[in-house]
Amino acid sequence: MRTEEAIRLVTAARTDADLFGADEPARRYRELVGALHPDRLGAADPGVRAAAAEALVTVTTRWRTPAPAYTGDVATLHERKEGPPVNASGRGGAPSYHLAKVARHPGDNDLMAREARALRRIAERGDARHLAYVPKLVDSYPARDPSTGVQRQVNELVTVPGLRSLDDVRRAYPDGLDPRDAAWMWRRLLVALGLAHRAGVVHGAVLPRHVLIEPDAHGLVLVDWCFSAEPGGLVPALVPGHEDWYPPEVAAKRQCGPGTDIALAARCMTWLMGDRAPRELRAFADGCQGAALATRPDDAWRLLRELDEVLHRLYGPRTFRPFTLNP
């Protein structure tokens, strides 16, 4: 699709059906974004570039699908079905999902840029075997609201469908999750953290709402990298309502590190299990949550091996336990 054709189509559209059609809206969306993207315009006339920028924000912010939009900490996400089969463990499964994540406030554009940098770094430096544990960044670009002139950052991401947060799990099991079910979630969360830390990224907000699981396949995806930092850097902000979850260095604006994420992950898991957590797992979690960063483990993959030893002593050899959110 040529840029001028895309501009005319967007300008003339009065409904989302006009814009995306009914047969293949995902394909039309890709065509429009591709035709209007700043990288495509090259040395185009300034008037064409301005019109394309206005059309692009219309495409990304008016986009609607039958699936509901999700509201995150700093952005609104819009979802559509596309892509080859995959699941959160990296194996063949359900079709992947493409999400447009649009900053709600221009003051959060810097946090969106942090997410894009973190996901690029993980994709470039991370172990390819484990990349399914984080969303895939497809593109990141500014989009200007033609009516107000406000510019918001858009991150286009790909992940898998059917994911549910640890908040959902806790609501399903208010008296605490069976530790044998929490075990596979903890193990996979440590894999995701090991992937990021080896790539030089600290997530900075490992909270229940950001840890998504795929119940049937026992997959996990760690999302919302807007609060990420490099080891030795500062976590830029605390997620409102979760201030008491963070280890001391975050609120004190001191340097963070892999141990910051490891402490948050341990807190997630003990919270998930509640009173059902056995003494050995509580002791393991306590060892991950020392008051000082230097006293905590800093290698998530080595910690995974230690967790496996604890789990083996408690429950014997690993076996697959079907999991449902409808107990």
Minimal CA–CA distance to 173: which of 276, 95, 247? 276
- Lowest mean pLDDT of 48-57, 178-187, 305-314, name the range: 48-57
Arithmetic mean of pLDDT, 18-32: 74
Tell me the DSSP string of 139-184.
EEEEEE-TTT--EEEEEEEEE-SS-EEHHHHHHH-TT---HHHHHH
Q: How far separated are the first and last CA of the chain, in Å rounded?
A: 49
pLDDT band with cut points at 50, 70 and 90 for residue 18:
confident
**Looking at residue 305, what is its pLDDT?**
97
For residue 121, give the 3-state DSSP assignment.
Answer: helix
**Looking at residue 135, what is its pLDDT?**
94
Q: Are 300 and 261 in contact (CB under 8 A)?
A: yes
Which of 93 and 256 is assigned the larger pLDDT? 256
Arithmetic mean of pLDDT, 322-326: 88
Arithmetic mean of pLDDT, 299-311: 97
Q: pLDDT tens digits for 41-52?
A: 776 778 888 888
Arithmetic mean of pLDDT, 233-248: 95
**Looking at residue 83, what is its pLDDT?**
53
What share of the chain in percent tops pLDDT 70? 87
Which residues are within 8 A (CB) of 204 and not within 5 positions of it... i.e. 6 or more apart? 227, 228, 229, 235, 236, 250, 256, 260, 261
**Looking at residue 67, what is its pLDDT?**
43
pLDDT band with cut points at 50, 70 and 90 for residue 249:
very high
Strand order in 75-85's β-sheet?
Answer: 70-71, 75-85, 95-103, 151-159, 136-144
Which of 249 and 7 is assigned the larger pLDDT? 249
Arithmetic mean of pLDDT, 268-293: 97
**Looking at residue 199, what is its pLDDT?**
98
pLDDT band with cut points at 50, 70 and 90 for residue 64:
very low
**Looking at residue 16, what is its pLDDT?**
67
**Looking at residue 68, what is its pLDDT?**
38
pLDDT band with cut points at 50, 70 and 90 for residue 65:
very low
- Lowest mean pLDDT of 15-29, 128-142, 190-204, 265-279, name the range: 15-29
Q: pLDDT tens digits for 191-210?
A: 999 999 999 999 999 999 99
Kindly tell me if the per-residue pLDDT of 320 is higher than 50.
Answer: yes
Which of 22 and 239 is assigned the larger pLDDT? 239
